[in-house]
Amino acid sequence: MHGLHLLQGYGLEVGSSLVEEDKVDFARELLATGKDKIVLPRDFLISDALDVKARKLGNLREVEAAQIPAGWKGVDIGPQSIEKFRTVLQDAKTVIWNGPMGVFEIDASAKGTFAVAGIMADITGAGATTVIGGGDSAAAVEKAAWRGRCRMCPPAAGPRWNSSKARSCQGSPP
């Protein structure tokens, strides 16, 4: 969840969430240059245990973004974040989405990802240009059953994107 990198870069506690420490300085740079354009999650679904391979979570609770306690991991965005992203995206003309909002492979922590996939499908239907790239995002859209309503780039295109590839993906049929 890229939002956790940004929150940690902003100086907030993210508990034991999965964060690549070598990406936190980059997150700080992004926040410094795009602070008024970056929308961070307001709340999270957190768990005291996470085993992705076994598809299991521990105890779950919703907390404000700045209140993830030690020993707990952010596993999805919360309802306030979903509504914030809906508000921000509803009038968007172009959106590039690369990365799920949570651990969508586990049903209990997939709500945020599936909600954003639905928002992407809705705005695509309303005429927005949407690009969904990366293997995890594409898999999430597939699992959410929104594939027929979103434009997706092949997962292998993600790491090698350039502007011409992105343009060619925009109009690709699902």
Q: What confidence tens digit (pLDDT) does each residue in 30-49 have?
A: 888 887 888 888 999 999 99
Lowest mean pLDDT among 43-47, 87-91, 127-131, 144-148: 144-148
- As a whole number of angstroms, the distance between CA 13 and CA 9 comes to 10
- As a whole number of angstroms, the distance between CA 25 and CA 5 comes to 9
Query: How is residue 58 written in tokens?
Result: 């521990």
Domain ranges of the chain: 2-170
Among 141, 127, 143, CA closest to 174: 141
Residue-wise pLDDT tens digits, 68-107 = 998 999 999 999 999 999 999 999 998 888 788 889 999 9
pLDDT for 157 equals: 44
Q: pTM of the prediction?
A: 0.78
Topology of the domain comprising 2-170: Rossmann fold (3.40.50)
Question: How does residue 1 score in pLDDT terms, banded at 50, 70 and 90?
Answer: low
> Taking 80 as the threshold, does the pLDDT of residue 113 lie above it?
yes
Judge contact between 108 and 84, C-beta under 8 A: no
CA Rg value for the chain: 16
The pair phi, psi for residue 97, each rounded to 5°, is -120, 120
Query: How is residue 26 written in tokens?
Result: 């980059």
The pLDDT > 90 percentage for the chain reads 31
